[in-house]
Chain A
């Protein structure tokens, strides 16, 4: 605030102050004067303006309030108008039980009581008036003590609502409503148009429904006809007439069912009495209706369904099931035919089955017979062979003795021939026995065990060496150490047969080689010869019984050898092969499985054989029930230098030992003694009696494994009949030496022995 220029000297400033004060004073004085100067006009104008502005503000506020008030009033008016529109109904307000206001309409609804409806009328009083009025035609329910009912009603709720009819088909709805604790409103709303419209709609609806029903009836695919409770016809449709074949004239409304049935009977339209039952049905209606399938007079089949109708009448419905029924019949026939066919087929099957069973039974019997026949043949052959072998055994022993006795005499060649003839007979018998055994279905015909192939081959070689020397054929064997899985007896026989064949079919000066070679897990035993060979055409045939190659001229034997080989290999699963060049030689081979290798050891036979020249100074007990064999054996053994004691049985042997007081060095016992007596029992008894574990050799034609095992269990060696002398002597020497402990390890294996089965 620098009103006065501070740069001015004080006197000037003082002067200016005085002037300011003077001006303010002048202005202050002028304020009180009345004048119309421009500035005062301005001043008053802005004063006025401020006032006007304030007024304007007030005015605007007032206007706004007014506006609001007007809006409220308009709303109220509108509400009032709404109320007025409500008042187009009859309206009455009862305050504290007495009529407060009502409108004109309310008063004039019932004109005869209009004058009595005055302010102060009670609610119950009004209703009494109303009930009394001549113009009141009806109410839909009774009015009693509306005021009492009101008391139970809450505010705003409808206390009562009823419909009243006034003369001239005029209708009102009367509603009684409590609007506040004091106020009750009674409203009369005219509903005449509603009632009338409702009524007319109902009528129209009924008419429409009748038409509709008729139309539905006509278009239904089944024949339908209704009867009223007294049996008169009401409605029917086209399909009904068509199905029934009754003219329209007979189906007029009012026609009775009896008449209709009578007409049908008269016109032969009823082929089925069932249709007539309809008449009785009505007297005894079932709740679920009545359904029959009937044949109509015109060949139709109809399903007739009768159902009760609510008004006591009934409805008859016809369905044409002619086609359906025909189809059903056809189907039924077809089913019958099919059933008959099936029954027939079943009978045939049963017959066939029975036939088959019979055939099977026959077959079974035939098989049993065949088996019995085979079995008896085998038994016969076995028995025959065994019985034949006994005398041959004896004969061979005798011939052997005879050969030595006739040596260098003129009888010698003849005895040799005799010896060969018996050898052939023996071989033939063995072959026959083998074939008969291999032919039988007995699974025990062969028994596969571990076999020392090398030893077996050596045995064959040793046995056939004399033959080869006789035939001037060089026979060689290649040592082998394989252990194979096979039947020791038949394998030995097979290899022997091949070697014998080879020697026989090889010209003097030729060669036969027996050897074995490994092929993978198997070993092949081969027999080579430089013989005449076999034509390709004969290569298959030679394995058959009694077959012989075309170029085999002078050969001994019956041709059973290869057959035995073939059968043996088939039984054991060994592969038998033949390679041959006619004129150059043949190779027979047998291939079998290898199960291991035998450790190299000293050959027992070789050790035994090496002692051929040693003295045979033994006490030998021979137990043999066959006197001839006993004699032949005694001859042979005594020739070798032994002292022989003979006995036919266990008891006989014991008696001999008792009488002589000798303990034999060895016991030779036949297995089959008289009765139940056996060589095994004899050995056991003698060992018991002597208290000495006597060495023993069992001589038998029985080649069974069981026997062999039983003998081995008792530490008894076994040698087959007919006894090969070349093998008997070393075996005796070895057995005695074993007993005395001289050669405990050199006991020949059972495979080294020649065994036979009975």
Chain B
């Protein structure tokens, strides 16, 4: 824990910046009292080989349920870190969990997923006075989050689902989820959690629409690829609209100039992950041919963040900790604007722990460039999704 900010009481936290996966795992697991822990979440930085981590964890935490994913960065007690291995240990006296591993996302099987989830949810015994929520960790390159989360929302109508898509730094090559100590790709992990703590879920972004609209005139929705915008090659047209040379397009530019979908008074970010050589744009959330979209513009980040994280329990207490799913593009924008230190400080004060995602899920919607969080309180308060 850092000076000046007392750590959370209801979750154990450890991080390691050790270069070697084994050493890093050894360091983080040493800090965990295994007997008291119900399960652990592990967030694996891109620099560490997921297989090495998997093996080290298996060796260190033999009978411990280990869940997690690879990431595009961690939010540790020190704030943003790209390289640290982060471990969160959830104590038995406050937490139980039941995992559902969904393998083979493509093609997506609505019925299969629904059946597996329903079965597990039914089997998971309810503890009196405890609250339930579900945490979703999905392969961030599966392009199936929209369907998955919408399915879960249907199957688990009384259970709030919060999720983040696994990442691999900014490589966009391969991501993994960890379930019961094993790493999986093209898979999703739904962790049904029961907790004695109160909690509040929330999400926020920092964008507002401009009056610049654009129309997708050619796309491959399955692949979230857009070839043509306004009848012109997509990357070139996007570059023209954001007033940027075609060759200068980068994740930072995408982060600052998101494309929004307008639906019944609300705007949702459709983030661009890359511009292909064929002048197509690949998106991180569902798009479709013929969709009218709006160019977005960023708001002031720091105060938006501070306000977004400001949550209190019913009895007026601050959260014991916040589990955060923070879009990697937000972090890119923060770093672009050299606000990393200030944002880290806000996270530290708010006791935010979590990782940078390739997409966030909340209330059955898959989104980009948002922050989704679950604030946990001492059980005196009253949590509501």
Contacts and interface: CB of A to CB of B under 8 A. Distances in A.
B291 A27 contact: yes
Contacts of B215: 3, 20, 23-24
Band of interface residues on A: 35 or more
B214 interface: yes
B230 A5 contact: yes
Interface string A1-33: 111110010000001111110111111101000
Task: Name the residue among B212, B215, B287 with the largest chain A CB count within 10 angstroms.
Answer: B215
B365 interface: yes
Interface string B202-239: 00000000011111111001101000101110000100
A42 B364 CA distance: 8
Interface string A187-220: 0000000000000000000000000000000000
A742 interface: no
Main SS of the interface on chain A? Answer: helix
Task: Name the residue among A15, A28, A49 with the largest chain B CB count within 10 angstroms.
Answer: A49
Nearest to B240: A5
A28 B290 contact: yes
B363 A49 contact: yes
Given A42-B150, A45-B150, A46-B264, A23 B216 contact: yes
18 contacts: A1-B211, A3-B213, A5-B240, A18-B231, A19-B218, A20-B217, A20-B231, A23-B289, A24-B290, A25-B290, A27-B290, A36-B147, A37-B286, A38-B222, A42-B286, A43-B263, A46-B365, A48-B150
Nearest to A7: B240
A47 interface: yes
A40 B218 CA distance: 17
A393 to B, nearest CB: 151
Interface residues of B, number: 41
Contacts of A47: 263-264
A44 B230 CA distance: 25
Given A5-B232, A20-B217, A44 B290 contact: no
A22 B291 CA distance: 12
Task: Name the residue among B149, B240, B289 with the largest chain A CB count within 10 angstroms.
Answer: B289
A4 B290 contact: no
Contacts of A26: 289-290
Interface in A570-611: none
Nearest to A14: B231
B268 interface: yes
Given A26-B290, A28-B290, A30-B290, A19 B217 contact: yes
A248 interface: no
A1 to B, nearest CB: 7
Nearest to B292: A24
Contact of A20 (B230, B240, B286): B230
A348 B212 CA distance: 145
B231 A17 contact: yes
Closest 10 CB pairs of A and B: A27-B290, A16-B231, A19-B231, A39-B288, A38-B286, A23-B217, A23-B290, A45-B150, A39-B286, A42-B286
Interface string B126-148: 00000000000000000110110
B153 interface: yes
Contacts of A25: 290
Contact of B288 (A3, A4, A8, A37): A37
B176 interface: no
B153 A45 contact: yes
Interface of A: 1-5, 8, 15-20, 22-28, 30, 36-50, 52
A78 B363 CA distance: 41
B271 interface: no
Contacts of A41: 146-147, 150, 286
A203 B211 CA distance: 98
Contacts of A23: 215-218, 228, 231, 289-290
Contacts of A46: 263-264, 266, 268, 365
Contacts of B218: 19, 23
A19 B219 CA distance: 12
A8 B212 CA distance: 18
B150 A39 contact: no
Nearest to B214: A3
Nearest to A45: B150
Task: Name the residue among A30, A36, A39, A40 with the largest chain B CB count within 10 angstroms.
Answer: A39
A39 B231 contact: no
B309 interface: no
Task: Name the residue among A8, A24, A42, A49 with the largest chain B CB count within 10 angstroms.
Answer: A42
Contacts of B292: 24
A4 B365 contact: no
Contacts of A24: 215, 290, 292
A624 to B, nearest CB: 154
B272 interface: no
Given A22-B217, A42-B365, A45-B153, A36 B110 contact: yes
Interface of B: 110, 143-144, 146-147, 149-150, 153, 211-218, 221-222, 224, 228, 230-232, 237, 240, 263-264, 266, 268, 285-292, 363-366
Contacts of A50: 263-264, 266
Nearest to B216: A23
A37 B366 contact: no
A732 B237 CA distance: 179
B384 to A, nearest CB: 9
Contact of B230 (A16, A28, A37): A16
A267 B30 CA distance: 116
Contacts of A3: 213-215, 230
Contacts of A16: 217, 230-232
A18 to B, nearest CB: 7
A161 B266 CA distance: 72
Given A38-B224, A46-B266, 14 more contacts: A1-B213, A4-B231, A8-B232, A20-B231, A23-B215, A23-B231, A36-B147, A37-B222, A39-B221, A40-B288, A42-B150, A45-B153, A50-B264, A52-B363
A387 B311 CA distance: 156
Task: Name the residue among B237, B240, B286 with the largest chain A CB count within 10 angstroms.
Answer: B286
B285 A42 contact: yes
Contacts of B232: 4-5, 8, 16
A469 to B, nearest CB: 149
B245 to A, nearest CB: 14
A16 B232 CA distance: 7
Contacts of A18: 231
B231 A45 contact: no
B364 A45 contact: yes
A30 to B, nearest CB: 7
B216 A42 contact: no
A427 B360 CA distance: 170
Contacts of A38: 143-144, 146-147, 221-222, 224, 286
A41 B151 CA distance: 9
Task: Name the residue among B110, B143, B150 with the largest chain A CB count within 10 angstroms.
Answer: B150
A46 B262 CA distance: 10
Contacts of B221: 37-39
A16 B218 CA distance: 11
A431 to B, nearest CB: 140
Nearest to A39: B288
B153 A4 contact: no
Given A38-B144, A39-B287, A45 B264 contact: no
Contacts of A19: 217-218, 228, 231
B356 to A, nearest CB: 22
A5 B289 CA distance: 20
A39 B228 CA distance: 17
A17 B366 CA distance: 31
Task: Name the residue among B211, B216, B228, B364 with the largest chain A CB count within 10 angstroms.
Answer: B364
A52 B150 CA distance: 13
A150 B3 CA distance: 79
A405 B240 CA distance: 194
A390 B222 CA distance: 193
Nearest to A43: B263
A44 to B, nearest CB: 7
